Amino acid sequence: MGNNIVFNDKNSLLRDHEIEGMKSQLELVHNELHSKTGKGNDFLGWLDYPSSFDRQEFERVKSAAKKIRKDSEILVVAGIGGSYLGARAVIESLKHSFSELLPREKRNSPHILYVGNNLSSNYIMELLEVIRGREISLNVISKSGKTIETSISFRILREYMEKTYGERARDRIYVTTDRHNSAIGDLAKLEGYQTFTIPGDIGGRYSVFTSVGMLPVAVAGFDVDEIMRGASDAQIEYSEPDIEKNPCYRYAVERNALNRRGKDVEILTIYDPSLQYLAEWWKQLFGESEGKDGKGILPMSLCFTTDLHSMGQYIQDGKKNLFETVINVEKPKKDFYMFADNENLDGLNYLSGKTVDFINKKAMEGTMKAHVDGGVSNLMITIPELNEYYIGKLLYFFQKACAISGYMLGVNPFDQPGVEDYKRNTIELLKADEKKMNLNII
């Protein structure tokens, strides 16, 4: 396999002519994307970002991360959607599954906690309980600086930090936002917070390789240079227009071919719980990019074998309007050999000498066979192992595939008008309620 991501479509149940018939459209959308003449072309900064990113800011990110790692037990990341999911996807994929319970000398990095990704008063108050009396830093991430979930959390956390640290709070608050047009950016200038840039031509769900993702990831102790190297290699590899040489394009085309067959639900299936937040990031990427104009493939995710015991029955015997995309990791971070037991009361001695990962892979093969036999198309994306390089490459793989797939669907993959509607309605309702209260007071 080398250092390649491999796409396997032997269980797609598609016929050659279905793919062949889409090659001319693929050529058109490839040219639209790379000539920057398609829909949403003012948000294509992510396309060549891995090779053209601001090296000076990147070094500032690493320097800030080093400071945070030195003086903080906890980094609180305030953001929602693309402002936190990319970083969390990388961190959760790479970290120890129980890092929160490891002693500091084994963990060797601050805890990363998240806020501003919901409006739960319970969550916010319990977070304040956890951080009280501990050394913390805060990274607030918002392009506009007006996202209500993030802004509320930031106001609460900023007050806490000012009460705790006084003037020194400004040395522990880091703001990642738009350089030119941001309410939170204006506040950062006023208070003297260190700031990092969300490029104006990169939307939130495509921003993982910017300071949005790389600052928290660096604080967590992972090699951001390797992540960018993986993304840079992916940028080159997935610019190849030939579908036979570009697994990223092959994936984009085949999910569209399946959609034309009436498959309007895609389940991203993982076999390692550490990939849960990568799946959450993937759902936002495709859901927010494609779900518009009455079109789109509904992205869902399941973790097997866990969810086989709740959703496996539906996939096997339910409506056939779905297909699966399986993420297969060839080499686990850690493994364990099964051993023989003299009494063998559980009947598992036949597994002696086999690793748990080997057993997991056989469960994956058996599940795919059952689902394909039941008429469910399965696609597979295989990465050699979970490390910084391959995570960088995989994230870019999905970003590029999403852009191509969205263009093939005939939508703008880079806006989110439905999300803006919910934000506007929420603010209008809150302001209307404030007016009622003022009238009652009068």
Each residue's pLDDT tens digit, 180-208? 888 888 898 989 999 999 999 999 999 99
Cα–Cα distance for residue pair 143/79, rounded to 1 Å:
10
Q: Are 234 and 392 in contact (CB under 8 A)?
A: yes
Domains of the chain: 6-40+227-409 (3.40.50.10490), 49-223 (3.40.50.10490)
pLDDT tens per residue, range 247-260: 999 999 999 999 99
pLDDT above 80 (res 10): yes
Give a three-class secondary structure readout of 192-213.
CCEEEECCCCCCHHHCCCCHHH
**Cα separation of 421 and 374, whole Å?**
40
Which residues, in sequence order, are CB contacts of 60 under 8 Å at separation 6+? 194, 196
Average pLDDT for residues 233-240, to the nearest whole number? 96
Count CB-CB contacts under 10 A for residue 384. Answer: 17
Count of C-beta atoms within a 10 Å radius of residue 391: 26
Within 197-334, residue ranges assigned H as helices are 211-219, 224-237, 247-260, 276-290, 312-317
Quick one: tokens of 386?
């979970």
The mean pLDDT of 68-82, rounded to a whole number, is 94
Which active-site residues does the annotation give? 288, 423
Dist CA 16 CA 3 (whole Å): 28
Q: Rounded CA gap, 60 and 31, in Å?
A: 35
C-alpha separations of 267 from 273, 300, 353 in Å? 15, 5, 33
Q: Give the pLDDT band of residue 419 (cuts 50, 70, 90).
A: low
Smallest CA-to-CA distance from 289 within 33, 109, 18, 105 is with 33
pLDDT of 232 reads 97
Element housing 153 (H / E): helix 148-165
**Is 193:138 a contact under the CB 8 Å cutoff?**
no
> In this structure, is the dihedral angle defined by the CA atoms of residues 324, 231, 85 and 40, taken in order, positive or negative?
negative
- Which tens digit of pLDDT belongs to each residue from 30-68? 999 999 999 999 999 999 999 999 999 999 999 999 999
Alpha carbons 80 and 382: distance in angstroms, whole number = 29
Alpha-carbon distance of 40 to 46, in angstroms, equals 12
Map tokens 């009280």 to a residue: 132
Residue 158 and residue 178: Cα distance in Å, rounded? 19
pLDDT confidence of residue 433: 62
Q: What is the dihedral of CA 97, 103, 105, 107, to 10 degrees?
A: 20
Q: Band of the pLDDT at 263, cuts 50, 70, 90? A: very high
Give the integer Cα–Cα distance in Å for 94 and 90: 6
